[in-house]
Amino acid sequence: MATVLHMPAVAAGATELILSQWPLAESTEFAKADTIAVVETEKAQVEIEAEADGTILKTLVAAGSTVEVGAPIAVLGAPGEKAGNVEALLGELGIAGRDPEERPASGHPENTAGTGRARIFASPLARKMAKDAGLELEALNGTGPDGRIIRRDVEAAIAARPAPPVPTEQHAGRPVPVSQPEDAPPAQNFEEIPHSRMRRAIAARLVESKQTAPHFYLRATCRAEPLLDLRRRINEQLPAPVSVNDLIVKAAAGAHRRVPAMNVVWSADAVRRFTTADIAVAVATDSGLLTPVIRDVDLKPPSVVSREIRELAEKARSGQLPQSALDGGTLTVTNLGMFGVEEFAAIINPPHAAILAVGAVRDEPVVVAGAVEAAKVIHLTLSVDHRPVDGVVAAQWMNAMVEMIENPLRILA
């Protein structure tokens, strides 16, 4: 019996998503847990898996379309079932016929009745972006399914537009630049890059964080030699190297275990305290910053934590990170040390209660027993949401973090 597949609510708070891909064609059978659709959230692409064996009888929206959460996107049937009369089937299921603009391209342009023009297939989002940018759809090269124009095609066309020519006037048979009046506005020397959904989402979340979460900051300097020595000894035994950041993530989980009052998030009705140490790690991608969450960090050896961070970072950069990997956690670790940054303060990633900014390992003078000596140090800056966490609790956590780094065998305990 035919059933309707609705656009799932795969991201908290999302009201619409992009149906980015149909991996299976109509009339194709699938097995339970097979990917039958791919949708794009503001942060990642999410694969929609089949809950049971079946057949794709009819897709109701084209790849690249923006769809409201809960709207019908396909009709599914039992294994071997045929679609039959599509319009009658849609009527039986209480679904209106599909808007012609939402039909996928057949691969051959069709003439629009009475106009003599070939109908151009494009997603609603691509049409709006092209209109806003003053682009004609006829001039765009579609790279979506069957030549459909999608968002990336419009973005590519905008980026490829040549700069406007400098106006000239004829003088003595030769073109010369037109003089600009003194009060004329300066020539534009910039390129506008349209906001992606992810960039808009990141901007909105950061503004929300600074407006709603009262930040306060704690700073500490750690001796790094013991941590570097532990890393060297671990890597002598492992085929894949463990990074300094991997050990810092482990140390943060250990500090959560020692100061559980920091392992919290703020909600409208209560402070939620968690029993697992789930730590998010900031990953830079071409589209923006993502923060996949490593689960149960305190219970895993450094090699496992390191492997999971690498795997999630690769998925984030390739656009294959599932939404589930972005949910949860109470603290983010962000590290700019590899770029030589000594120290910085980061904005909290909501709904987390804190974010730890890690600088580079540096040689600096330190005072030991009244004498100055050279040492390798790391600067840490902890940004904290004052609603669920008081200053004393944050200071206790930072003290535990410093002790973990300077006595790193505790990381392995």
Which residues are identified as catalytic? 386
* Alpha-carbon torsion, ordered 306, 312, 313, 315, to 10 deg: 150
Instruction: Please tell me the distance from the alpha carbon of residue 194 to that of residue 197, in angstroms, as a whole number.
Output: 10
The CB-based long-range contact list for 297-303 (8 Å cut-off, 24+ gap) reads: 297/249, 297/250, 297/252, 297/253, 298/250, 298/253, 298/254, 298/256, 298/257, 301/412, 302/234, 302/242, 302/246, 302/247, 302/250, 302/411, 302/412, 303/234, 303/238, 303/240, 303/242
Residue 115 vs residues 110, 119, 180, 365: alpha-carbon distances, Å? 11, 10, 45, 78
Say whether 409 sits in a helix, a strand or coil: helix
Distance, CA of 206 to CA of 292 (rounded, Å): 17
Beta bridge partners of 373: 366
User: CB–CB of 54/74 below 8 Å?
Assistant: no
